[in-house]
Amino acid sequence: MNYPNGKRKTQQKTRTPQKNKPDFSNRGMTLEEDISATNQFYLEAGIAVVHKKPTPVQIVQVDYPKRSAAVIKEAYFKQASTTDFNGVYQGKYIDFEAKETKNKTSFPLSNIHQHQIDHMKAIIEHGGIAFLIVKFTPHDEVYVLPAHCVFEYWDGQFKGGRKSIPYQVVHEEGILVPFHFQARVDYAKALDKLYF
């Protein structure tokens, strides 16, 4: 296990080394799974109540080979999903999207959709807190990025601006979230710095 510095121990491949590149093949969970595990810890510890939103699906065709073994054969998404997670922290409604990128130098705005931006803007207009949790997999870094920073680049792209948020901006405007054993993506501490 080895977690004295709060970071996961990565295993080295025994095959031929490739120019000192880190091995990301056995890194475990995805960002969403890590956040869900963190949310479970928050719930059990009485820190926050946050859940992953289910994706609304319309079931069209079901096969019933046996009464106890129904099989969905055809289904469609009912509507565009909003964001990944929502809940309550410190008495405030929070709503956020989790995104991973393999890009080293920027977070592409193509990873977000207009309906998600509209949803986050509505949350803020009603007094809630909206943000992104962004993971840069090449750096093995996770950031909490306030929605207002995302809006600035999102709106700017339609006025001739760039179509991504530079890594340096995420690093400066966001809060780096270190990996922990129990709260794997301990975003609550980042929210404390940004909003409380």
Please give the Cα distance from 150 to 45 (Å, whole number): 31
How many Cα neighbours within 13 Å face the side chain of 66? 2
Whether 97 has a binding-site annotation, put simply, is: yes
Tokens of 130: 């909206």
Whether 140 has a binding-site annotation, put simply, is: no
**Residue 118, C-beta contacts closer than 8 angstroms, at least 6 positions apart:** none
Burial of 136 (0-12, 13-18, 19+ CB in 10 A): buried
Kindly state the greatest CA–CA separation across the chain: 58
Whether 125 has a binding-site annotation, put simply, is: no
Whether 172 has a binding-site annotation, put simply, is: no
Report angle CA 38, 148, 195 to the nearest 5 degrees: 50
Please give the Cα distance from 185 to 38 (Å, whole number): 6
Indicate the annotated binding residues: 82, 84, 97, 116
Indicate the annotated binding residues for Mg(2+): 82, 84, 97, 116
